[in-house]
Each structure stands twice: as structure tokens, then as C-alpha cells.
């Protein structure tokens, strides 16, 4: 199984177009939050309409997982906590979203909501506890914020990660946690796109503008994780202990080479969802 991981597209339509073109190469697309951009001049409701069109097209190509991020919160619950109502609505497209678990082959994926208060946090803890009782050998969490005190949450002056997530990882020891949120971590000194807490691999895609987005590919059959960004192409062996720095990709597999073509909009015409 080969998974394409993105996060923090923040309503960048060229990046969404690239994602549609890249999706056929993968068994699963994992979107680790912040599809929307609360700072955009585009009305939030219009952003939701357009992104849902993209997600509808994407779900017709391959399996999709989407968790909420802090930019995706569009309502308050009856208890007054911020939630992402629109993300729960993409479930009707066959997309696994906040609160869901999805089993593909020998892998269980648990999709975690962004929590903004004690009630959603409690529901998330219960979700993890229930999934732990049924976990297979490979258990992957999709959780927008990376763990605190990890290079994947280093912002240059302080950590911006989730303290509770560190405790949940220690308790349940999932195989992987896939995150985003802290845009600069992979690109700055003392930051990274990967880390390991006990037996748990942790990933943060990072963010760069333009096309394509930064992305991670998890190739479970080859037990390898690849990270691609502007002027960066690295990989790590998921069977090996944590080692820094990551190795540069010297011989890219054909499917990875083919993604370079769709980085150039003149070489591939996307099936745009806008309009």
C-alpha cells in the first residue's frame, strides 16, 4: 500500500489541482488538516463549497482520509466548543473523517478531530481507547497538530505541538502519527519532517507555497517514507532506528519520478473543481 500525505493546503487551488493529478498513483490520500484558510479574502462558505468539490473528485479516484485542523473550524457545538461541521459532511462522499476509523489491508487508520475544548478532547480520548482494543500490528493516527517537544513541532523559538498527544502516544504506542500545522518545522535548524517517540514514527509535511505542495509518501510495502519539497528529496527506512539526517533520494522509483511531471502545470491539465 502506498499513501500520499498532504496537509496545510490552506485553499491553494493550484495545490489542490496537483493533488487530483497525483492521486491515481496512490491507494490512499491522507489530508492531515487545514484544507481551508481563515485568513483568505475568499468567503469561508465559498471555500467550503469549492474544497468539497475537490474532495468529491478526489474520492472518485482513490480512498481519502481527512481530519480537521484549526483553520477548518466553522461552527460551535451546542456546548460552545469550536468544531468543523463541514468536514463531518464529507463522510457522505465515502471519505473517512473526524471520529472515524478505516481499515485497509493490515492497517488501521484513526482520524482525529481538532479539539478546542474538554468535550471534544474527551471524545477523542474515547475514540483512541476504543480503537486500541481492535488495533492490528500497524496503527496510524491522522492528527493535525504534531506532538509537543518534537522537532516536528519546532517553530524556531519554541514548540507548537500538542502536549496531550505526547501522553496519548506514550499510552497507546501507535505505529505512526501523521500531522502538519507547524509549517516551518522541516525547513529550519533543529526542526524536522520526521521523529520517533518510542516505537511511534511521527511526521509533519511542512508547508511551502506554489505547486506542488510539500508531501510525504508512505510506501508500506517498501517500508520507506519519502519527503518531497522544493529543493528537498529525502527518505527514511521505517524498519531502521531513528537516524538524522534523512538520506537524500538518489534513485527515485518510477511512480515518484512521474510526479515531477505534474509539478509543471504545462505538462498536465487538472480537473479543476472551481466554478
Dihedral of CA atoms 181, 184, 187, 193 in degrees, nearest 10, equals: -10
CATH number (domain holding residue 73): 3.60.21.10
Per residue in 187-224, pLDDT (tens digit) is 999 999 999 999 999 999 999 998 899 999 999 999 99
Give how many domains the chain has, as a whole number: 1
Residue 268 lies in a domain: no
* Residue 153, number of CB atoms within 10 A of its CB: 26
Q: The cell 460552545 sits on which residue?
A: 80
DSSP category for residue 230? T
Residue 269 lies in a domain: no
Q: Over the chain (275 residues), what is each successive 10-residue block's mean pLDDT?
A: 98 96 97 97 97 98 98 94 95 97 96 95 97 95 98 97 98 98 97 98 96 96 95 95 94 86 52 49
pLDDT attached to residue 252: 87
Distances (CA, A) of 144 to 21, 111, 133, 183, 236: 24, 10, 23, 11, 21
Q: Angle CA(185)–CA(190)–CA(191) in degrees, nearest 5? A: 15
Q: Which domain holds residue 70?
A: 2-262
Residue 195 lies in a domain: yes
CA dihedral sign, ordered 145, 146, 147, 151:
negative
pLDDT attached to residue 258: 84
* Residue 199, number of CB atoms within 10 A of its CB: 10
pLDDT attached to residue 273: 58
Residue 10 lies in a domain: yes
Distance from C-alpha of 261 to C-alpha of 265, rounded to nearest angstrom:
8
Residue 271 lies in a domain: no
pTM: 0.94
DSSP string, 124-151: HHHHHHHHHTT--SEEEEE-SSPBTTSG
pLDDT attached to residue 126: 97
Q: Which of 81, 146, 72 is nearest to 115 (CA)?
A: 81
Burial of 141: CB neighbours in 10 Å, binned 0-12, 13-18, 19+:
buried
| Residue 177 phi, psi (nearest 5) | -130, 125
Yes or no: say if 19 and 223 are a contact pair by the CB < 8 Å rule. no
pLDDT attached to residue 251: 87
Yes or no: say if 193 and 216 are a contact pair by the CB < 8 Å rule. yes
32-69 residues labelled b (16+ CB within 10 A) or e (exposed):
bbbbbbeeeeeeeeebbebbbebbbbbbebbbbbbbbb
Residue 272 lies in a domain: no
Residue 220 lies in a domain: yes
Distances (CA, A) of 58 to 70, 100, 188: 22, 18, 32
Distance from C-alpha of 131 to C-alpha of 99, rounded to nearest angstrom:
11
Amino acid at each position: 500500500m502506498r499513501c500520499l500525505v498532504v496537509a496545510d493546503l490552506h485553499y491553494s487551488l493550484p495545490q489542490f489541482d496537483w493533488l487530483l493529478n497525483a492521486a491515481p498513483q496512490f491507494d490512499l490520500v491522507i489530508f492531515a488538516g487545514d484544507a481551508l484558510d481563515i485568513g483568505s479574502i475568499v468567503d469561508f462558505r465559498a471555500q467550503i463549497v469549492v474544497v468539497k468539490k475537490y474532495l468529491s473528485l478526489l474520492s472518485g479516484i482513490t480512498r481519502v482520509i481527512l481530519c480537521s485542523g484549526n483553520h477548518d473550524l466553522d461552527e460551535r457545538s451546542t456546548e460552545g466548543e469550536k468544531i468543523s461541521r463541514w468536514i463531518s459532511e464529507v463522510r457522505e462522499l465515502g471519505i473517512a473523517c473526524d471520529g472515524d476509523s478505516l481499515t485497509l489491508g493490515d492497517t488501521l487508520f484513526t482520524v482525529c478531530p481538532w479539539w478546542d475544548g474538554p468535550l471534544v478532547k474527551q471524545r477523542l480520548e474515547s475514540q483512541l481507547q476504543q480503537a486500541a482494543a481492535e488495533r492490528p500490528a500497524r496503527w496510524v493516527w491522522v492528527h493535525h497538530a504534531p506532538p509537543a517537544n518534537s522537532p516536528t513541532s519546532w517553530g524556531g523559538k519554541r514548540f507548537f505541538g500538542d502536549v496531550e498527544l505526547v501522553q496519548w502516544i506514550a499510552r497507546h504506542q501507535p505505529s505512526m502519527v501523521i500531522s502538519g500545522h507547524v509549517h516551518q518545522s522541516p525547513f529550519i535548524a533543529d526542526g524536522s519532517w520526521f521523529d520517533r517517540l518510542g516505537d511511534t514514527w511521527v511526521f509533519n509535511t511542512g508547508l511551502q507555497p506554489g505547486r506542488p505542495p510539500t508531501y510525504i509518501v508512505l510506501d508500506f510495502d517498501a517500508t520507506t517514507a519519502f519527503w518531497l519539497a522544493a529543493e528537498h528529496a529525502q527518505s527514511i527506512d521505517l524498519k531502521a532506528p531513528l537516524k538524522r539526517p534523512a538520506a537524500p533520494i538518489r534513485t527515485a522509483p518510477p511512480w515518484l519520478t512521474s510526479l515531477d511531471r505534474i509539478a509543471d502545470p504545462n505538462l498536465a491539465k487538472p480537473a479543476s473543481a472551481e466554478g
